[in-house]
């Protein structure tokens, strides 16, 4: 079957998703959908015209028509308002709730068998909204958060150590927000624990910077939020599904007892393949880690209540 990826929202993040999808050739066809007249068409044409220079051969279409979602195996939802300085992700909840709800209704109508990846903030609440509105099985509704947060964590560790980020392995679990949990004891450089390479105060500084990674970028941009790495993170997830590569990535998924948590979407390590979430990789947490993760659970539950779903 011809691989088709649909991206809803032609803003900075949606355009980044489409760009990386073309460059990485994860699908033969990429469809960019936005309700703003001409926006998706213009962005798609600009991306298409880079093909002779870069050398990719995938097809991209920009449109306002929801029917273009038909037969997409993966739909990435980026539509929504970005954060501005001084705004928390929670501040976005009411604004983006209705946007996500309306977009998911269209996905449900035209791509009922697709895997749905949600980027819109606050991610853990918006992916819950998508789950409830779509009625899709839990394996096919996934939030993008941990891939991005883990990338930031890995970069900050690599920067502090003066090593290639490719050689740093690190995991961030929990909510995509201030209570996220960058796991220190599992972070390593080519197998060497970072606790053996960095002093505790430096590690604490990196953990805090990771937790505030999005806000730091917002403080510089003033009128927008991060887009390059979020777009690539979502494409990494889409690629695992479209190519059935069984990648282990941290994603926001519906938990039913894993890690002792039930009834929330939360970032945990999972195996992604053609069926979406194929397995949750559960492991024993320390008492301190479990307490920190519970703060994420409480924050997500509070967001879920605000959705009214």
Calpha distance 167→171 (Å, rounded) = 13
CB–CB of 271/277 below 8 Å? yes
3-state secondary structure of 261: coil
Q: Which whole-number Å values give the CA distances from 29 to 19, 76, 246, 257, in the listed order? A: 12, 14, 22, 38
CB–CB of 77/118 below 8 Å? yes
Is it true that the peptide bond before 116 is cis, omega within 30 degrees of 0? no
Active site residue 176: yes
Q: Which of 19, 176, 211, 267 is catalytic?
A: 176
Strand order in the sheet with 181-189: 168-173, 181-189, 192-193
Question: Which H or E element spans position 110?
Answer: helix 93-110
Would you name the residues annotated as active-site residues? 176
């Amino acid at each position: 079957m011809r691989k088709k990826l649909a991206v809803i929202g032609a803003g900075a993040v949606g355009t980044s998703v489409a760009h990386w999808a073309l460059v990485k050739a994860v699908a033969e066809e990429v469809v960019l959908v936005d309700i703003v007249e001409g926006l998706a068409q213009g962005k798609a044409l600009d991306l298409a015209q880079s093909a002779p220079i870069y050398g990719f051969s995938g097809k991209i279409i920009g449109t306002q028509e929801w029917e273009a979602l038909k037969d997409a195996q993966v739909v990435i939802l980026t539509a929504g308002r970005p954060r501005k300085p001084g705004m928390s992700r929670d501040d976005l909840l009411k604004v983006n709730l209705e946007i996500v709800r309306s977009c998911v209704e269209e996905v449900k109508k035209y791509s009922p068998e697709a895997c749905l990846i949600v980027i819109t903030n606050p991610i853990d609440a918006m992916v819950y909204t998508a789950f409830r509105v779509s009625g899709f099985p839990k394996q096919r509704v996934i939030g993008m958060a941990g891939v991005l947060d883990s990338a930031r964590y890995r970069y900050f560790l690599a920067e502090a150590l003066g090593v290639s980020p490719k050689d740093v392995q690190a995991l961030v679990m929990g909510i995509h927000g201030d209570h996220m949990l960058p796991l220190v004891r599992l972070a390593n450089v080519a197998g060497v624990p970072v606790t053996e390479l960095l002093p505790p105060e430096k590690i604490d500084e990196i953990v805090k910077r990771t937790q505030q990674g999005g806000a730091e970028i917002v403080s510089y941009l003033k009128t927008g939020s991060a887009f390059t790495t979020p777009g690539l993170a979502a494409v990494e997830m889409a690629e695992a599904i479209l190519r059935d590569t069984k990648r282990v990535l941290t994603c926001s998924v519906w938990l039913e007892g894993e890690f002792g948590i039930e009834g929330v979407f939360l970032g945990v390590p999972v195996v992604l393949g053609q069926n979406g979430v194929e397995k949750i990789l559960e492991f024993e947490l320390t008492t301190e880690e479990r307490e920190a993760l519970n703060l994420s659970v409480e924050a997500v539950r509070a967001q879920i209540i605000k959705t009214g779903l």
